[in-house]
Amino acid sequence: MHWAKEFTLTIQTIMADIKAPEQARPVFPFTAIVGQEEMKLALILNVIDPKIGGVMIMGDRGTGKSTTVRALVDLLPEIQVVADDPFNSDPADRELMSQETREKAERGEPLKTTTRKIAMVDLPLGATEDRVCGTIDIEKALTEGVKAFEPGLLAKANRGILYVDEVNLLDDHLVDVLLDSAASGWNTVEREGISISHPARFILVGSGNPEEGELRPQLLDRFGMHAQIGTVKDAELRVKIVEQRASFDESPIGFRNHYLGSQQELTDRIVAARALLEKVSIDYDSRVKISQICSELDVDGLRGDIVTNRASQALAAFEGRTQATPQDIFRIIPLCLRHRLRKDPLESIDSGDKVREAFKKVFAY
């Protein structure tokens, strides 16, 4: 009987591990990531100001793209949401409320609120449209006369981050769904004459390897920033990265504890920057010069102008300043414009040299 007891305990342990929440898995600390400063800065700025419009990260295999994005989870600040609401409704903004919550607010009913960390939702490549958008229970709607809606990943990602790994391999129909939601901030599901809409404002973060295929121009333009990363060439840095990864694999909890201080410090800076952002300004002359750069580079539309203004202000807020400077603009403008340049179909995305040259010419930098 002794073996049977041990067998039962083993099964219970395995089942407990299976049922353990995904968040319980240790994540590599963001502040422990060596190099790739461009990618890390783009991610941080988007958390400070989600209206920048997300970031596309393209680079070689094994350069830490997915690791860095998932490490961002620890740094995400808390937001206030309506309790028991699957859409993360904002109790202070009716534009970010689900229909049911908005109707309650209009009737004057009190809304129970709670705080929750900004969510990061992974969109798997093989996800169905129903899994992404949500489904309507037609039978329940017809028999009981209620709109029975099962929320999807877009509902969960509202006011959070939607991460698509290998985004350049995503099915075209899912790309269209993301484009519609990213453009409007709403997700609409229609089945058999029944239509349900809910807010879906999220930071779109994608990563991929350019060798596996390019993105459709329509989707590429939706990303506010574009970070290019390459394999680290410096031998000493490569050794440091390998050692850190080995230390983390050997003792994830101990490794994370070593970086608790730096992680908390960075989180505090992000929270302070989000609070300071509305006080940050950029002078008129700089705004004119940003638009002049976009015009000289023949950038289509005005999204490049808007993103560059927002990103430079977010960078100033991150550094605790209330005035964006030309130095701020110089640091972020390649990330905001390089993927919007017109190019020969056989060329890859510009490294940012053309953008920097245009900046130096216009700003006399």
User: Are 303 and 215 part of one and the same domain?
Assistant: no
For the question of residue 303 being annotated catalytic, the response is: yes
User: Are 212 and 359 part of one and the same domain?
Assistant: no
User: Are 321 and 225 part of one and the same domain?
Assistant: no
The CATH number of residue 166's host domain is 3.40.50.300
Of residues 159, 222, 274, 303, which has the active-site annotation? 303
pLDDT score at 111: 83
pLDDT score at 141: 56
pLDDT score at 350: 60
Domain that holds residue 189: 22-77+118-229
Please name which of 48, 51, 46, 49 lies closest in space to residue 201, comparing C-alpha atoms. 51
**Residue pointed to by tokens 């609070």:** 275
Positions in the chain short of pLDDT 50: 1-23
pTM for this entry? 0.82
User: Are 59 and 192 part of one and the same domain?
Assistant: yes
Q: How many domains does the chain have?
A: 2
Last residue of a domain, one of 196, 213, 229: 229
pLDDT score at 270: 93
How far apart CA 221 and CA 131 sit, in angstroms, is 25
Calculate ∠ Cα 359-364-365, nearest 5°.
70
Q: Per the domain annotation, does 1 fall within a domain?
A: no
Residue 283, C-beta contacts closer than 8 angstroms, at least 6 positions apart: 323
The CATH number of residue 291's host domain is 1.10.8.80
